[in-house]
Amino acid sequence: MEKVTRDNYKLVLGLEIHLHLRTKRKMFCRCSADIWEKEANSITCPVCLGLPGALPVPNEDAVKKTQLLGLALGCSLNQNSKFDRKHYFYPDLPKGYQISQYKEPLCLGGQVELDSGFIADIERIHLEEDVAKSFHEGDRTLLDFNKSGMPLVEIVTKPVFSNTVDAVDFCKKIQQTVRFLDIGDVDMEKGQMRLEANISLRTQEMEKKGELCNYKVEVKNINSFRFMEKAVLAEIDRQLQVFEKGEMPIQENRGYNETTGKTVPQRTKEDAKDYRYFPEPDIPPMVFSNGYINELKKELPELPHMIKKRLVQNYGIKISESIVLVDNFGMEIVNKFEEFIKKGLDSKKMASALINKKETHLWTFDKFKDYLQVPDELIDENALRDLIIKVMENNPKAVEDYKNGKESSIQFLFGQIMRETGGKVKPDYAIPLIKSLIQ
């Protein structure tokens, strides 16, 4: 039997991302959606407690915000959509079913372009109610129903990821898009964004034929990007060990134990037929006109991927620089970048300064202008290195003083280099190079 390794088995990964929308009320009742750090079971009513006879009324704001997210992610909006009952028994779901969406979700399709250039395909985006929060203490389970009934969006991708780097980048871009649209806080520490990974492995031959395995293991309720990557890698190792024994992994739900770094079994994974979906009888189908959808499209702001491409096209900076400006620094720095360029500053030099010299983020236009007017280096890096080595050889005491903790010696050496070059070397470039050559 061929040895089982990561080289001859390839990852097949699909994601499910659950996120809370920022609304004033819960999904199907009038309870406040401001539940963070509130007393347990203090924000409830007959609807979110699942009491007999309580009737659900959909939150229009949640529906609209889900559709905006779908448009931002390139989805098509279903003009005819409905809610369904998804049946299963679990202590956090007292009425025995969850109001969700199955065959006619609000959004279908969609794509996200990742930093690697890979296009991640979305299968669907639907809207549902969240369940209660469980606390396990020994052999007891305590329930807090404040979270029950919160508007919960689920984004389901196709099984398109073959590495964890792209999967993490996809999740980060979803979080960023939600914040750009201002429809949710997606704070993972508060449980407002949760990740689930559907993981299976296939042989290289299956990959070439486009075949998938007939099983998948879902690792549920992951609360950080870092843990998602660790959970996927841990589950890959576990499944490889199963294959090593000549067995096939069973289809099941598992959790990730952050302490042991391993996935642990929870329950056998259900198929759609096990949930016995049928249309929610207490909520009429939703019908959306072309006019309504066109008005929604007008509300979309310029999105992160659009901004990055525009910065490259309009200002001639590198795509890697635009990614850092938008993803790492945010719109406040991007707006400053564009404002100062329109006043006459050099775009490439300013982008480089913002990325490599963080204190520039607080600078005024005049200070930036003075800084960028310092002449460019007139010698290349190799020539500068040779010059630094020469200066160090001619001044061994200054080098030894710096090694012994005398910081001012660096300024002395830099002064010698400035004299040799006629003052045409930037300190923020030369000084780090001097220090690196002394080490």
Residue with tokens 């914040």: 179
Does the pLDDT of residue 167 top 60, yes or no? yes
The CA distance from 331 to 336, in Å, is: 8
Q: Residue 381 has what pLDDT?
A: 76
The residues pairing with 262 across neighbouring beta strands, listed in sequence order, are 257
What is the rounded average pLDDT of the residues 351-365? Answer: 92
Query: Which one is predicted more confidently, 79 or 403?
Result: 79
pLDDT category, 375, cuts 50, 70, 90?
low
255-269, 328-342, 416-430, range with the lowest pLDDT: 416-430
Q: Residue 267 has what pLDDT?
A: 76
pLDDT category, 5, cuts 50, 70, 90?
low
Q: Residue 2 has what pLDDT?
A: 44
Which residue, 22, 200, 16, is CA-closest to 100?
Answer: 16
What is the rounded average pLDDT of the residues 107-134? Answer: 96
Residue ranges and CATH numbers for the domains of the chain are: 9-298 (no CATH), 304-372 (no CATH), 381-438 (1.10.10.410)
pLDDT category, 309, cuts 50, 70, 90?
very high
Other beta carbons within 10 angstroms of residue 319's beta carbon come to 12
Average pLDDT over the chain reads 92
The CA distance from 161 to 157, in Å, is: 9
Does the pLDDT of residue 1 top 60, yes or no? no
Q: Residue 102 has what pLDDT?
A: 95
Encode pLDDT of 209-218 as tens digits: 989 989 999 9
Distance of CA 352 to the CA centre of its chain: 25
Encode pLDDT of 48-57 as tens digits: 999 999 999 9
Q: Residue 438 has what pLDDT?
A: 85
Token pair in block for residue 377: 């280096």
Interior angle at CA 128, CA 127 and CA 130, nearest 5 = 135
pLDDT category, 403, cuts 50, 70, 90?
confident
Query: Among residues of the chain, what percentage have pLDDT more than 70?
Result: 96
Does the pLDDT of residue 32 top 90, yes or no? yes
Does the pLDDT of residue 421 top 80, yes or no? no
What is the rounded average pLDDT of the residues 114-142? Answer: 94
pLDDT category, 240, cuts 50, 70, 90?
very high
Q: Residue 376 has what pLDDT?
A: 56
pTM for the full model?
Answer: 0.83
Token pair in block for residue 77: 């909006």
Q: Residue 405 has what pLDDT?
A: 83
Does the pLDDT of residue 254 top 80, yes or no? yes
Does the pLDDT of residue 427 top 80, yes or no? no
pLDDT category, 377, cuts 50, 70, 90?
low
| Cβ neighbours of residue 48 closer than 8 Å, sequence gap 6 or more | 26, 28, 29, 31, 129, 145, 148, 149
At 67, give phi and psi (nearest 5°). Answer: -65, -40
Does the pLDDT of residue 414 top 80, yes or no? yes
What is the rounded average pLDDT of the residues 75-101? Answer: 94
What is the rounded average pLDDT of the residues 61-85? Answer: 98
Residue with tokens 């759609």: 272
Residue 159 one-letter amino acid: P
Encode pLDDT of 187-232 as tens digits: 999 999 999 999 999 998 999 898 998 999 999 999 999 999 999 9
At 380, give phi and psi (nearest 5°). Answer: -80, 175
Q: Residue 227 has what pLDDT?
A: 96
The CA distance from 234 to 292, in Å, is: 46
41-45, 170-174, 292-296, 373-377, range with the lowest pLDDT: 373-377
